[in-house]
Amino acid sequence: MAKDNNFNIQTIGTATIPSPIHLDQMTGDSIYKFIEEKDRILSDVTLQGFNTCLQNNEAPVCLEKAGPRERIFFRPENTTAAIVTCGGLCPGINNVIRSLVMALHYFYGIKRIIGIPFGYEGLSPTSNHSLKELTPDMVNDIHEFGGTMLGSSRGAQPVSEMVDMLENNKIDLLFAIGGDGTLKGANAIGDEIEKRQLPISVIGIPKTIDNDIDLIDKSFGFETAFDTAAPIIRDAHNEATGAYNGVSIVKLMGRDSGFIAASAAIAMPVVNFVLVPEMAFDLYGPNGFFEALKKRLELKNHAVIVVAEGAGQHLFEKEKQITDASGNVQHRDIGLLLKDKIKEYFDSQSIKTTIKYIDPSYIIRSAPANASDSVFCNRLAYHAVHGAMAGKTKFVVGMVNNQFVHLPISKVVHQRKKIDLAGEFWFAALQSTGQPFSMVQS
């Protein structure tokens, strides 16, 4: 984490109302305690970091601890909350929606909860989408299904129009569930709200299947993604071993970061090569990927390759970049390119191969959350509600060093998190696959 002590969380007013949650500050009564504003979590827990702060006489970078406060800002009986889901689908969205509704209703007694249909598009008056009133009964079973009951969309809407919609519908809390683009949009909405001096809190809940939100340990849906990918890779391995010189290529999601591909390779250790956007590799030459693959086939007569969607884009001819409605670069299909190039390479050497290409991306992202992600989604939502009711705004709730914290939205969207190729996680992936440390020609 960058050496930047400005991780303070904005508030829209002083919290003076006693919380309806029956906690206390007594010790020894076996009851969870209210979180105090002074409670902080260290961002760097290494001894080296601690010693550096001592040597430089600096305060360590600390993050505000998430959790219920003894005093809240919003009066529950007069509060209206809204929930919006944006961007691509991801396991666990419905879990988060459900837990937000349950926490708002049962913890704080908020009766009016609105679902914004089809992402930020639903906050635009030109969309003609009808707002949904959400109740505990309505969301009771949605966690059993993938996708989002509210629908989603990509692309920006005029910020002033969205804030008009919030103001006209007397919305006090806006929970925005989404990735990098969604969070940037939430921050812009928060800026406009601040400019108008409105008492509306904006809360981000990081959602990205790629696990590429900066600073936080993980984003929800990520564990389900590689958990769901594991049996697909197992079956791809069966396909590869079922033919002489069988090669199975499995393409997984990962536009700019290869966490799903690398995690899936470690989780299902039949993978022989994992290719991610962070790594450079050459196809040809004595140290290239094809030579390594050839050696693998000579040794075992089969190979399994897992590739992230954003890997190997340097192998395509340079063309004008196409972006989606959220501004994300639309990558070329590396899986199909590898399939064609592998066949071409081995055919040129009169080596027979059987190549199978599998792309389960949309099946994986539409899956319901697994047990681990379900727990995580539940806790994220609860902490988001606690922070919102305390009057905090323009923050995301996330886990850092296994502790739930509040972070300014502006900090987590500064850059995308990527695999550290010199780090232990990538080393673990290389150890699992047995692939060369480098497949680049010197």
* DSSP 8-state secondary structure symbol assigned to residue 364: H
pLDDT digits (tens, 9 = 90+) for 288-310: 999 999 999 999 999 999 999 99
Instruction: Look up tokens 């709730």; give the residue.
Output: 397
Q: Which of the residues are catalytic?
A: 210
Contact 87, 93 (CB under 8 A): no
pTM: 0.94
Long-range contacts of 336-341 (CB under 8 A, 24+ apart): 337/312, 338/249, 338/305, 338/307, 338/312, 339/249, 341/283, 341/290, 341/315
Residues of the chain with pLDDT under 70: 1-4, 319-329
The binding site comprises 88, 154-155, 179-182, 208-210, 253-255, 309, 362-365
The binding site for ATP comprises 88, 154-155, 179-182
What pLDDT is stored for residue 72 in this prediction? 98
C-alpha pair distances (Å), 338 with each of 167, 316, 332, 416: 51, 11, 11, 26
What pLDDT is stored for residue 187 in this prediction? 97
What pLDDT is stored for residue 333 in this prediction? 94
What pLDDT is stored for residue 431 in this prediction? 98
What pLDDT is stored for residue 2 in this prediction? 40
Contact 345, 291 (CB under 8 A): no
Domain ranges across the chain: 10-219+369-412, 222-366+422-433
* DSSP 8-state secondary structure symbol assigned to residue 105: I
What pLDDT is stored for residue 326 in this prediction? 57
What pLDDT is stored for residue 319 in this prediction? 64
What pLDDT is stored for residue 302 in this prediction? 98
What pLDDT is stored for residue 1 in this prediction? 38
Q: Are strands 354-358 and 246-252 parallel, antiparallel or unpaired?
A: parallel
Tell me whether the CATH fold assigned to 10-219+369-412 matches the one assigned to 222-366+422-433: yes
C-alpha pair distances (Å), 432 with each of 194, 262, 429: 50, 10, 5
The interaxial angle of helices 371-389 and 222-241, nearest 10 deg, is: 160
Contact 74, 104 (CB under 8 A): no
CA separation for the pair 120, 326 (Å, rounded): 11
Fold (CATH) for 10-219+369-412: Rossmann fold (3.40.50)
The binding site for Mg(2+) comprises 180
Which CATH number describes the domain made up of 222-366+422-433? 3.40.50.460
